[in-house]
Chains A and B, each alone.
Chain A
Amino acid sequence: MTAATILIVDDEPPIRRLLRTSLASQGFQVIETADGRSALAEIERSCPDLVVLDLGLPDLDGLEVIRLLRADGNVVPILVLSSRSDEKGKVEALDLGADDYVTKPFGTAELFARIRAALRHRLQQQGEQPIFRSSDLEVDLVHRIVRVRGGEVKLTPKEYDILRMLVAHAGKVLTHRMLMSEVWGGETDVQYLRIYVRQLRQKIEINPERPQYILTETGIGYRLRME
């Protein structure tokens, strides 16, 4: 596999420098732009494998960039950089088609994990693994069997649907809306989702109060932890 190319879109030179240095050290090819329009042009021109996109850009809103890309049919994974208190912006970016987000200020370890998950997800779209494993959790997607530490766990169909969604996007955040539209096929109340997630945790987590598989991204959605 050739080194993946990552486009950094941020108007702050120090952030670009940090990202460039740390990503290059991990063996990625790095290109960068400072605003939305040149980002769109650059994506068109060099087809990067992943875009790290800051939401607050001087010319085009980062959300607008995502909207334009997705409207154009471009499926390049997008990792959004946003500030802590901007939960609404994050959800909107994700619902528009961004793959994941990292909150500024962020640690490089977290950034790499997100990038890897997003890249892997792109590869998996071509050929899904039949059995998913994360520490003691095992999900057999073909036979719809869930095992925790070797023992089989009985899930209701809805619980299984939620888990399957999370597994399909393992490591990536899923917004409430994504989960709900996938599992219930449309609008439903977020509290139903919360109740099912609680039940699911009771069944698969060792300590449901401090879950290690299904993590809550407060105000946004859920994420299945990848080992």
Chain B
Amino acid sequence: MPEQNGEPKRPDPEALLREAATETRGHLKVFLGAAPGVGKTYEMLLSAAAQRRAGVDVVIGLVETHGRVETEALVRDFEIIPRKHIEYNDRHLDEMDLDAILARKPSLVLVDELAHTNAPGSRHPKRYQDVDDLLAAGIDVYTAVNIQHLESLNDVVQQITRIRVRETVPDAFLDRADEIEVIDLTPADLIQRVKEGKVYVPMTAERALAHYFSPGNLTALRELALRRTAQRVDQQLLTHMQAHAISGPWSAGDRVLVVVNEHPKAAALVRYARRIAERLGARWTALYVETPRSLRLNEAARDRIAEALRMAGRLGGEAVTIPGRELAGEILDYAAKNNFSHIVIGRSARSRWHELLFGSITYEIVRRAGNVAVHVVTGAEKLTPTAQAIDTRPTTAAFAPRPYLISVALVGLAVGCGEVLARFLNVQNVALVFLTAVLVSAVAFGLRAALFASLLSVLAFNLFFLPPYYSITISDPENVVALFFFLVVALVASNLTASVRAQAMVARQRARTTEDLYLFSRKLAGIASMDDLLWAISSQVASMLKVRVVLFLPENGALELKTAWPPEDVAEEADLAAAKWSWESNKPAGRGADTLPGAKRLFMPMRTGRGPVAVIGIDSDKQGPLLTPDEQRLLDALADQAALAIERINLSENFDKAQRAAERDRLQAALLTSISHDLRTPLASILGAADGLAGLPDLSADDRKALLSTIQEEAERLNRFIANLLDMTKLESGAVAPNMALVDLGDVVGSTLRRADKILADHRIETALPPDLPMIKLDAVLFEQVLFNLLDNAAKYAPAGTTISLQGTCEGTTVRLQVQDEGPGIPQAELERIFDKFYRVRKADSQRAGTGLGLAICRGFVEAMGGTIEASNRASGHGAVFTVVLPVPNSNEPRAMP
């Protein structure tokens, strides 16, 4: 659960004092890395270089390049304070020269390896204490450290990496940092860097990769680093995470594993695990180990397992199924590989005798758990025998004679082969031929057929190969023993082979289901609109389960049919009632369910951890139950995934709405500012000038003229602004319906230039429009306004006396018109934003800026006419370029005839 800040706090006087102290202290920025080699030092140098370019006095106190070429190249440009040599026990040690830095007193100093322990005899035992001195002296410090060096995380890191880090930095030091930048690199990238030898490690790369730099370790360390920093990040992140249905915050140190089985208490175990995980703020996983025994479970038991796993998914955990034979070993192995620190298991439900004979898995896990905490939950929860909610198809397959007939044939073949072999070999060896027949039968048809083949083989062997022939009796007692052992071997081999076969089949089935689910979730993940999503869900479920699908979603408090597959499907009254009941009670209803079984369809709620989001209804033309148990489980899983996807879109739509509302507010504010400023300023000039003319009788002729031209110019400016506002309103209200016709671009350019005559009086205009430019389809009035605004913009920003040029070119199927000026150009970061409403490029001299509408109108009009408009800067240096691209109509252009 996200942590919320409690009630507003009064400022703590000590905190105020501390704050006052920090005002004179230097500014501390920490570059925090998850592991060595992520590039902290490099980033630190880059940031410092940017500071230096901005004129800050930067020196290097100490930077370890570890021989990395890129890093060394960066270091070269800085002033470096020479290190101090210290002799200790006949060893040369180079340390940062604190006194030299303090004497030099730069504005910013770079100090690498914050956790370093200084050589004995230095001023402080630890480097972070040196940094403290630097900060106290009012010097800003950039420093770098890895997460493993943080004191509070030392134990956790050791657990993860099995390496004890001796050099640590107190957490309080990091908390005092004014700024922390996490240098993040994905584990895969980092491992690649280690492989390429780009990371300095004190052992060989292979050893490092096998130990410290394993993907599991790196992921955990990365999470630690991000989490540690995330503590400092505000509400914004939480909102974002909720909107994107990311659960958090996470703990890398703690992970909880709950082991589920078919026991009815499995659901209770899952809930228990979730409570623990929540308390620890940990991620958790529900694990089911599929053993050969799993195959023999009845449908009810399988349902319970599936439900426990799905429940884990709904409650925010992860559900995992792994195959295995020896439970305790598999569980512990999984826990160790995936950094689990807690295991939750139920107490064995077996009898004492069973435990004595076969051992207890619980005990085994506790005994071998080592560092992992094991929670053994004894089930106090009552076993409520849940009536099966949905009737599913019985699975007892009808008796199929084919496997047995083929088994008979196989044994017959064995008799034939045996007859031939018996002429050359000892008769005992013929038994092996029969064994082959049994095994083939087991592989092909499973246990029952194999058992049948075994018995048949014994009979045939006895009849045809053991004297007296063609009789059930056996004369030689030795043969009786042989026959007995043959039977035992055949039975054991059949059993083994058949169970291997069954496991393989289950694995294949599961792989297919998993793949289906994976494809399904991938399909859903890429969809951004609710309509598309519902469409995809219904069509996918319909095709995977061969059923018809309807989806109901709540809308304005009532449940509504949103999508159906096939699309023409409609819901009847009885169906609607069943859907509603299912939604309200959060249980299945309708065909085959306990409630409202008269409905045509079966309805099931689709839910997530936050509750139901939709109801899915299915039906088919098949008689009897709609789904087999396997299909039912698949539907459950599909519904869960679909529910998550629906919730994701719901959340992001809400988020979008909130964003749009915020954007609207911002625009409203901007509009008010703009109107009050841009309307009032010219009005003030006009009124002032008019007052002057009316009230000052002895004005000189020149003064009168000046006042008059003020009135003229300002009124024209006002007129342009109002025209812009009107255009913008038209665009906003969607009232722009371009009146498209084939137009000669030169014609529009000419009329625009005439209209813009006054505002262009101080600039030179150059036009270059080839006479063979094709006519293009556009609304001449709108396009004139676009051109006018572009020229107005150019005239405003480019200094007087410079040239504004208009160039038209035809490129294939488009005509491109460029307006170039010789002004200061547009800052790279603002090239796109200048088309936003009310956005103005800041001008240093705060000279009369535009209204912030002109370019927004240009884009609106050009796009309404099917074209594009872009801003860029001239390649040669100074000046902005606006490029309008319009399509050339492909119809055969009418040619003028003489």
Contacts and interface: CB of A to CB of B under 8 A. Distances in A.
A14 B320 CA distance: 82
Interface residues of B, number: 31
B55 interface: no
Contacts of A192: 894, 896
Contacts of A105: 715, 719
Contact of A216 (B751, B767, B894): B751
B726 A194 contact: no
Contact of B775 (A87, A191, A219): A191
Contacts of A211: 750
B748 interface: yes
B753 interface: yes
Given A194-B743, A194-B744, A198-B744, A209 B775 contact: no
Nearest to A196: B896
B769 A209 contact: yes
A33 B813 CA distance: 55
Contact of B746 (A208, A215, A218): A208
Nearest to B730: A85
Nearest to B757: A210
Contacts of B750: 208-211, 215-216
Contacts of A217: 751
Interface in B390-426: none
Nearest to A189: B894
A218 B780 contact: yes
Interface in B745-803: 746-754, 767, 769, 771, 775, 780-781, 784
B747 A198 contact: yes
Contact of A218 (B727, B751, B898): B751
A105 B682 CA distance: 15
Nearest to A205: B750
A195 interface: yes
B373 interface: no
Chain B CB within 10 A, most for which of A190, A198, A202, A216: A216
Given A194-B747, A216-B748, A87 B781 contact: yes
B738 to A, nearest CB: 11
B894 A195 contact: yes
Nearest to A222: B747
A215 B744 contact: no
Contact of B741 (A84, A191, A197): A191
A195 B775 CA distance: 9
Contacts of B752: 218
A219 B747 CA distance: 11
Chain A CB within 10 A, most for which of B741, B747, B753, B767: B747
B505 interface: no
A209 B767 contact: yes
Nearest to A225: B754
A202 B780 CA distance: 20
Contacts of A209: 746, 749-750, 767, 769
Nearest to A88: B739
Nearest to A200: B896
Contact of A215 (B726, B742, B754, B781): B754
B723 interface: yes
Binding site secondary structure of chain B: helix
A86 B372 CA distance: 80
Contacts of B753: 210
Contacts of B784: 218-219
Nearest to A217: B751
A196 B747 CA distance: 12
A211 B750 CA distance: 7
A199 interface: yes
Given A194-B742, A218-B781, A210 B767 contact: yes
A92 to B, nearest CB: 14
Contact of B747 (A85, A189, A216): A216
B303 to A, nearest CB: 69
A46 interface: no
A199 to B, nearest CB: 6
Interface string B707-720: 00000000100010
Chain B CB within 10 A, most for which of A85, A197, A209, A219: A209
A156 interface: yes
Interface in A79-106: 84-85, 87, 105
Contacts of A208: 746, 750, 771
A196 B753 CA distance: 21
B896 A195 contact: yes
Given A156-B898, A198-B746, A215 B719 contact: no
Interface in B719-744: 719, 723, 726-727, 730, 739, 741-744
Contacts of B727: 85
Nearest to B755: A218
A219 B896 contact: no
B780 A219 contact: yes
A219 B781 contact: yes
Chain B CB within 10 A, most for which of A194, A196, A202, A218: A218
A85 B896 contact: no
A196 B897 CA distance: 9
A215 B741 CA distance: 19
Chain B CB within 10 A, most for which of A105, A194, A197, A202: A194
B751 A215 contact: yes
A197 B751 CA distance: 13
B895 to A, nearest CB: 8
A211 B741 CA distance: 21
A31 B373 CA distance: 103
Interface string B57-79: 00000000000000000000000
A224 to B, nearest CB: 14
A194 B719 CA distance: 30
Nearest to A104: B719
Contacts of A196: 896
A7 to B, nearest CB: 27
B580 to A, nearest CB: 53
Contacts of B749: 209
A84 B739 CA distance: 16
Contacts of B751: 215-218
Contacts of B781: 87, 218-219
Contacts of A85: 723, 726-727, 730
A84 B742 contact: no
B723 A84 contact: yes
B479 to A, nearest CB: 108
A209 B898 CA distance: 22
Contacts of A194: 742-744, 747, 775
A195 B746 contact: no
Contacts of B894: 189, 191-192, 195
A198 B742 CA distance: 13
Contact of A197 (B739, B747, B748, B754): B747
Given A85-B726, A211-B750, A195 B780 contact: no
Contacts of B746: 198, 208-209
Nearest to B715: A105
Contacts of B775: 191, 194-195
Nearest to A195: B896
Nearest to A84: B723
Contacts of B730: 85
Interface string B671-692: 0000000000000000000000
Contacts of B739: 219
Contacts of B742: 189-191, 194
Given A195-B896, A218-B781, 10 more contacts: A87-B781, A105-B719, A192-B896, A199-B896, A208-B771, A210-B750, A211-B750, A215-B751, A218-B751, A219-B781
17 contacts: A85-B723, A87-B781, A105-B715, A191-B741, A191-B743, A191-B894, A192-B894, A194-B747, A194-B775, A196-B896, A197-B747, A198-B744, A199-B896, A210-B750, A215-B750, A215-B754, A218-B748
Interface of A: 84-85, 87, 105, 156, 189-192, 194-199, 202, 208-211, 215-219
8 interchain residue pairs of minimum CB distance? A191-B742, A216-B751, A219-B781, A195-B896, A209-B767, A218-B784, A156-B898, A218-B780
